[in-house]
Structure 1
Amino acid sequence: MTAVLTRRALNRATLARQHLDVRVRMTAVAMVEHLVGMQAQAPWPPYTGLWTRIEGFGHEELGDALTSRRLVRVLLHRGTVHLVSAADCLALRPLVRPVLVRGHRAEVRAAFADAERIARLTREVLDARGPLTPTELGAALAELLPGTPANVLADVARTTVALVQVPPRAVWGAGGATRYATA
């Protein structure tokens, strides 16, 4: 026998699966892993999203998870920044990389012919200098790869290497510019 869900039952099941019907007792890291990430293009929506789902959630928990890098903000699903666990970042990022590469404009896609070299240099630059803003990273790469615009190099770097946005960005009450480090 085949069961058919009504629209309302399907809606309720979806809300329950997303923990949007009743708050639960769960850590922020466990919730983000359960959801396989949360959209985090802007820094603050994950705080509301977790507060909506987790009983007793306080902003300090997410700030601590970001600072300790148990949760990270990284370019992921649909080419936007998502909040994921460190483990999910390392597992998911290689899977979405080909899709991210295909989604770029022609000017950037042309630079992907040198993507592995750009990726290697990105890791070297960030290892040597520490976290950099997109502008700083692009400028550093342009010094090493003259002839390609810095903004294109930064786009290729962000697409080919799992670059996480490091705190204080997205830490409640701290803020700050986007700075990248390798995952």
Structure 2
Amino acid sequence: MTERLDARALNRATLARQFLLERTGASVLDVVGRLCGLQAQEPQEPFVGLWSRVSGFDPAELSRLLEQRAVVRLHLMRRTVHLVTAGDAWDWRPRHQALLRQRILGVYGRDLAGLDLDELAAQARALLSDGRPRSLGDVGRELAGRHPDRAPRVLGEAVVAALVPAVQLPPRGTWGSTAGARYLTLSQWLSRDAAPEPPDGADPVGEDLVRRYLGAFGPAASADLRAWCGLAGLPRAVAAVRDELVSFRDDRGRELLDLPDAPRPGPDAPAPVRFLPAFDNAILGYHDRSRIIDHDHRGLSVAGARVVLVDGRVAATWTGGAGGVDVTPLRPFTRAEHAAVAEEADHLATFIAPPGN
């Protein structure tokens, strides 16, 4: 009989995979890879996400990895900006090409109607071939010279967010930077002509994506995998690796798949207070987010709220700046919970405080 895992057991599994039960001593590069990247639409948010996961996290290390091109920022899962390793950018960006194009048409279909997008992409590649970093606005204005009846903003976003694999260059995304986004193509930034093609009849990239997702987020349903990456074409990859996996049932009877040797702590494993940044994938990585956030508060996960985990679940929101960290509970705290939240908030306030404060 298939074992059942209740919401609390799933919660502890998620926290363990996400390094939120215990901070890890692994390198920042390794953690970014094992988490399958970090959602990075807001450039400074990954720093808090890594601070909550990595022992002794030094924000300068992430900045160095960006500058050394070991990690990159680009539009990927769900057409949002993600921070991923250079290797994952190469492997995963081609897998998302159809999705990104579909999503941009979903947003700007009327504005782009009648325009040959393949021709637009070719024009953009020719434009960017000189190796000069450009902003989205720069790209749009230069392409508008060829397409004067189109809005430059739409042309620029269509190119850098979908049609051409493009990377946001540092100092965008480095610690404390407010720099705007400037772009080069992925192949220019990483000095490689093309991503590898999978062998005929196989989809190793898709199969690896399934394994990697389960390693970071499992046990999970196929619907959770689709919600995380936005891809609709993964059933074949799931089927290809299914014999490697174990299965469970959740409280609703859904089948959940997982890697056999992945950590699944018991439901009574202690979960310390953790502060999460906006759009953290520990929450957004699922279709069914009930393992970590109550239905009544689900909207916070897509509204950009920064949240506090207490006993492993979203129990408060927080804001922070030069004046410290302010916490707004979503439910009453016990005295012990209040003290634990206040202590972690003080640590976070020290981390995010501007130099010299």
Normalised to the residue count of structure 1, the TM-score between the two structures is 0.91
Q: Hey, what's the Cα distance between the residues in 2 that align with 1:151 and 1:99?
A: 20
Residue of structure 1 equivalent to 2:116: 114
Aligned to 1:143: 145
- In the alignment, which residue of structure 2 is the partner of 1:105? 108
Residue matched to 1:130: 132
Q: Give the conservation status (yes or no) of the 8 Å contact 2:169–2:184.
A: yes
Residues matched between the structures, number: 182
Give yes or no for the alignment of 1:83 onto 2:83: yes
Counterpart of 2:14 in 1: which secondary structure? helix
Quote the residue 1:167 is aligned against: 170
With over 3 angstroms needed to count, the CA separation of the structure-2 counterparts of 1:7 and 1:174, relative to structure 1, is: closer
Partners of 2:111 and 2:150 within 8 A in 1: no
In structure 2, C-alpha distance between the alignment counterparts of 1:173 and 1:119, rounded to whole Å: 33
* Cα distance in 1 between the residues matched to 2:101 and 2:122: 16
Q: Give the secondary-structure state (helix, strand or coil) at the position aligned to 1:128.
A: coil
2:80 is aligned with what amino acid?
A: T
The answer to whether structure 1 residue 28 and structure 2 residue 28 are counterparts is yes
- TM superposition shift of 1:149: 2.6
Taking the TM superposition and a 5 Å limit, the aligned residue runs for 1:36-75 are 36-75=36-75
SS at match of 1:53: coil
Counterpart residue identity of residue 6, structure 1: D
1:121-180 Cα deviation digits (max 9, x unpaired): 222222325111111111111223443332222122121111111011111133311111
Highest CA radius of gyration, 1 or 2? 2
TM-score, normalised to structure 2's length? Answer: 0.48
Identity of aligned residues (%): 39
Shift of 1:96: 1.6
Contact persistence 1:101–1:109 (CA under 8 A): no
RMSD: 1.7
User: What's the offset of the Cα at 1:33?
Assistant: 1.1
Residues in 1 aligned to 2:124 and 2:63: alpha-carbon distance in whole angstroms: 27
Aligned in 2, Cα 1:108/1:82: closer, same or farther, shift over 3 Å? Answer: farther
Q: Deviations over 1:2-54 (max 9, x none)?
A: 32223221110111011111011112221111111111000111001111111
Return the alpha-carbon distance in structure 2 between the equivalents of residues 81 and 15 of structure 1.
Answer: 23
Secondary structure class of the residue paired with 1:105: helix
Residue in 2 aligned with 1:17? Answer: 17
Q: Return the alpha-carbon distance in structure 2 between the equivalents of residues 136 and 6 of structure 1.
A: 51
For residue 181 of structure 2, the aligned residue among 144, 153, 178 is 178
Instruction: Give the Cα–Cα distance (whole angstroms) in 2 for the partners of residues 132 and 162 of structure 1.
Output: 14
1:34-84, Cα deviation, whole Å (9 max, x unpaired):
111111000111001111111121001100011111111111111111111
More helix by share: 1
Query: For the structure 1 residues 180 and 59, does the alpha-carbon distance in structure 2 shift closer, same or farther, using more than 3 Å as the test?
Result: same
User: Where does residue 7 of structure 1 map in the other structure?
Assistant: 7
Higher strand fraction (1 or 2): 2
Instruction: Give the corresponding residue for 2:198.
Output: none
What is the aligned partner in structure 1 of residue 337 from structure 2?
none
In structure 1, distance between residues paired with 2:26 and 2:146: 46
